[in-house]
């Protein structure tokens, strides 16, 4: 087996440095825990950037992909396979009537949604898509164009024409941005990468009313919020409105790459054969994993557990807020929580990592807590003990 130093050298020599690597080589995971090449154990409160929503190597997912791997791993989509329609039916059953398209990642799901609304809009000469400032929709060229953060777009121009950004939560800004060329509005119900920003119910209701009035399609990027993360299977359910398109990825496959869109009745038949495709999309292995994720959520009352553990974690974070003056605000829904600081969070992330806790810092000063939805009270307590230690060290300096 290679040593950690050898592996780090190989990475530096042979893998493009598109990520800010931590010099740690992970080799094994189970539930909320991961182990590095030197045997050090970490409590993962950001498992797989919200991909491993059921924890690392969830037994239900492992069993399903083992079984499927020995039957049929991949078939191209010019043939039908057994599990793809079952997964589509499962998504529809938990959401709204329509049809799915399957792909392999979040950016690809958003790409499909954007192409679908463009095709729909092209029928009536409309093409403009309004997205939100501070949003994040992925790294393909259309997804960075849709992303309302300059830092992700810089250096990649010219971008895709026809996008506009408005302030998240500001209904007047949205009204003013709509023109006769506008065809769709796209947003995350809870902005993840943008700093755990939660939309208000009245904002969402007004947004939906504007979309209905102006015949605009509403796209919800549920890539991070979907699959139970907020205590509802999909976060749009908190707001009492239904989008025209929802995009999914991350937890959908429990660690196996899969993305999906669900388009409602109005637009689900807009694509014709040949309009859009994905070689790997919705392959039997990925569908088996996703069906296992749904099965576990359904059979284990996981949504209620997310609400309960989310409240518990939120309570613990609020307690820390009472103790440390540099904590500005705790916000989020379910097990998607953010802690805004008046200081930089990067150093806190590093110190937590040293002490064996993985969290995330986004937007420079927001600590993001998105643990496995199977997280236990005792794991939450352990994480909070480490955070408290780090905070008290910081306050002393």
Ligand X SMILES: Cc1ncc(COP(=O)(O)O)c(C=O)c1O
| Residues near ligand X (CB under 6 A) | 49, 105-107, 110, 136-138, 188, 192-193, 221, 223-224, 249
Provide the 8-state DSSP code for 84: H
Nearest residue (CB) to ligand X, 252 versus 327: 252
Nearest residue (CB) to ligand X, 105 versus 131: 105
Residue nearest to ligand X (CB): 106
Least distance between ligand X and beta carbon 91 (Å): 17
Is 114 in a helix, a strand, or coil? Answer: helix
Extract the tokens encoding 131. Answer: 């997205």
CB contact at 8 A, 203 and 86? no
Least distance between ligand X and beta carbon 108 (Å): 7
CA proximity to 289, closest of 242, 249, 321, 344: 249
Extract the tokens encoding 233. Answer: 């299977």
Is 162 in a helix, a strand, or coil? Answer: coil
Largest Cα separation within the chain, whole Å, is 63
Nearest residue (CB) to ligand X, 110 versus 230: 110
Nearest residue (CB) to ligand X, 220 versus 391: 220
Least distance between ligand X and beta carbon 12 (Å): 23
Least distance between ligand X and beta carbon 277 (Å): 17
Least distance between ligand X and beta carbon 355 (Å): 25
In angstroms, what CA-CA distances link 232 with 60, 94, 237, 297, 371? Answer: 21, 10, 7, 11, 16
Nearest residue (CB) to ligand X, 106 versus 332: 106
Parallel/antiparallel/unpaired status of strands 366-369 and 360-362: antiparallel
Helices (H), 81-105: 83-94
For 242-294, the DSSP string reads --SEEEE-GGGGTTS--EEEEEETTTTT---TTSS--SSTT-HHHHHHHHHHH
Nearest residue (CB) to ligand X, 56 versus 126: 56
Least distance between ligand X and beta carbon 389 (Å): 29
Least distance between ligand X and beta carbon 105 (Å): 4
Nearest residue (CB) to ligand X, 249 versus 327: 249
């Amino acid at each position: 087996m290679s040593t950690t130093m050898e592996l780090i050298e190989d990475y530096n020599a042979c893998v493009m440095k598109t990520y800010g690597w931590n010099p740690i080589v992970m080799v094994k995971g189970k539930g909320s825990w991961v182990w590095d090449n030197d045997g050090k154990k970490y409590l993962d409160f950001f498992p797989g950037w919200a991909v491993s929503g059921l924890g690392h190597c969830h037994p239900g997912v492992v069993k399903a992909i083992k079984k499927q791997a020995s039957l049929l791993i991949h078939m191209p989509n010019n043939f039908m396979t057994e599990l793809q329609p079952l997964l589509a039916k499962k998504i529809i059953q938990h959401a709204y009537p329509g049809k799915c398209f399957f792909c392999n990642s979040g950016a690809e799901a958003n790409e499909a949604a954007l192409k679908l609304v463009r095709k729909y809009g092209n029928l009536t000469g409309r093409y403009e898509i309004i997205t939100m400032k501070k949003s994040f929709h992925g790294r393909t060229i259309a997804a960075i164009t849709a992303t309302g953060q300059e830092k992700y777009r810089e250096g990649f121009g010219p971008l895709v024409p026809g996008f506009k950004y408005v302030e998240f939560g500001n209904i007047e800004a949205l009204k003013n941005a709509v023109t006769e060329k506008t065809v769709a509005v796209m947003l995350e119900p809870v902005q993840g990468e943008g700093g755990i920003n939660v939309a208000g119910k009245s904002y969402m209701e007004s947004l939906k009313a504007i979309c209905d009035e102006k015949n605009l399609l509403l796209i919800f990027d549920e890539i991070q919020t979907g699959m139970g993360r907020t205590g509802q299977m999909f976060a749009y359910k908190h707001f009492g409105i239904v989008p025209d398109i929802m995009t999914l990825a991350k937890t959908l496959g429990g660690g196996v790459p899969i993305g999906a869109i669900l388009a409602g009745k109005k637009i689900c038949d807009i694509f014709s054969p040949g309009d859009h495709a994905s070689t790997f999309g919705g392959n039997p292995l990925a569908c088996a994993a996703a069906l296992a994720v749904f099965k576990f959520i359904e059979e284990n009352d996981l949504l209620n557990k997310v609400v309960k553990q989310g409240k518990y974690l939120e309570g613990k974070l609020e307690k820390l807020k009472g103790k440390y003056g540099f904590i500005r605000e705790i916000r989020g829904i379910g097990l998607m929580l953010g802690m805004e600081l008046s200081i930089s969070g990067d150093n806190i992330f590093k110190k937590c990592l040293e002490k064996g806790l993985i969290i995330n810092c986004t937007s420079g000063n927001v600590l993001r807590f998105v643990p496995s939805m199977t997280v236990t009270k005792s794991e939450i307590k352990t994480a909070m003990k480490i955070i408290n230690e780090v905070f008290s060290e910081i306050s002393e300096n």
